[in-house]
Structure 1
Amino acid sequence: MAFIPKLESPTLNQSKERLEMSNPKFSEMALSFAGGDGGNLQSEVWFCGYEWGNLAKTDMAETIEHDFVAQPQPTSWQDEDFDGSWNTNYNRKICWFLEYFYQLDGSNKSYEAFVEEFKILHSNGLGFKLNLLPVRFHDRGSVDWSDNIQTASGFASFADYREWCVIHRGKFFRDAIRQYQPKLVICTGVGERDNFFRAFTDGGEPERIQLTDFAISVARIDQTLVCVTPFFGGPSGINSHEKMQQLVGSTKALLKRTQP
């Protein structure tokens, strides 16, 4: 019988080649803290969304010019570019979480006063915020992978871009977690549950936990608890103080349960 060599799947080879073709400027930007609000890397609690929103519907050419800049050191809400960031729906939920987690007194305070008093997402304060993907889009339905973003990123499709980020940007984030050792990383958006765990943990089956009004999933990377929750807003998300209290109570209980 003639020997027939085993060949690797051409589809797999092609996929690997596509993911290795990122633009060097894009790679430098994506493998940094660009695309997130930042804050204090020494904070016990980190937050990770999917990507920045684009409420102003900035066109992609302007986004590339403004955002494709590496951030080797994190920004923070103290920076001029982030003035007023605490007024978005998502970021107010970060304030809620930290208020309940640390039992801060947020009564009769504006969000601006609360952020200033407790140094929320300040470089020397409470909280740190990332995004899994560094390029802003208005929403998932508005993604137009046009020629300019293909050229700037090096990827022919949004799917290739996302996969590269999960693999390579994820490793950058895991290295940061191991260096700074936060107690908790809150990842928001159950639709990207698997990609969050691929990016932030080393594998293993996450545990699903049913709360009164919603479910969360958790796993660990070393001593850090990674928790994927519903989005901070929307009709099925963390859209009330009661739900936020459920989330905070459950994560604090899990942290006590898993402490060595």
Structure 2
Amino acid sequence: MTGFAPEWLALREDADAEARSGELADRARDLLAVNREPLVIRDLGCGTGSMGRWLSARLGGPQHWVLHDRDPRLLELAGASLSGVTVGTSGVTVETRLGDLTALGAADLAGASLVTASALLDLLTRDQVNSLAAACVEAGVPALFTLSVAGRVELDPADPLDARLQDAFNAHQRRDGLLGPDAPAVAVEAFEGLGARVETRPSPWRLRPGALVREWMRGWVEAACEQEPGLAGEADGYLRRRESARAVVHHVDLLAVP
């Protein structure tokens, strides 16, 4: 799994919050309302804690967040930011766990009320998603995974190079056995195969011209060119043409209930 710069995570946080499915988050809240308090939430690949900042207010009540990440710098930022969060009259308590979250098993998730992650599943392999699903189901813990890439981008205005770049980017996402845009379907298959009830909802980024769409597009084009070097000669011209483009970047949110 690849690390991410805090600056990029901060730039995308508002777009992430707008895109995530409030409907699935509310379903998770209603499901957890029967659990004992405080809720124990395990956030896998927490980054700077944006999922916690978004979801904690929606869940309500006393909460204890266990933050997992392999990047100590991000983990420190996430722990500090969530430690100051208040939900109603209750404070959110936090602990951090540094390490490889793909090694977590059912025993590690025991006692959790909910497992959650944002923009994670597409960075995993099929075996890792299968293992994560098995851990959640065996532990009897619902899972809410948001913002898995769907492999589809809509750009306005359109450009003749769009489709070729999208295909190359999707191939780059699947390198070394990673799931990339196949992740939502694989996760649904994994959870349903273990008897869990699964719901999915679209969660598209809707990006207007500005810093985020420029930074996203630069990374999108760079990855496509890395996958298909023949595109490199057209990259600079393409980016100049797209400076005022709007983008819809499709994602999928998933709620699995054992």
Give the TM-score, by structure 2 length.
0.30
Q: Which has the higher contact order (CA 8 A, sep 6+)?
A: 1
Counting strand residues as a fraction of each chain, which structure ranks higher? 2
Greater fraction helix:
2
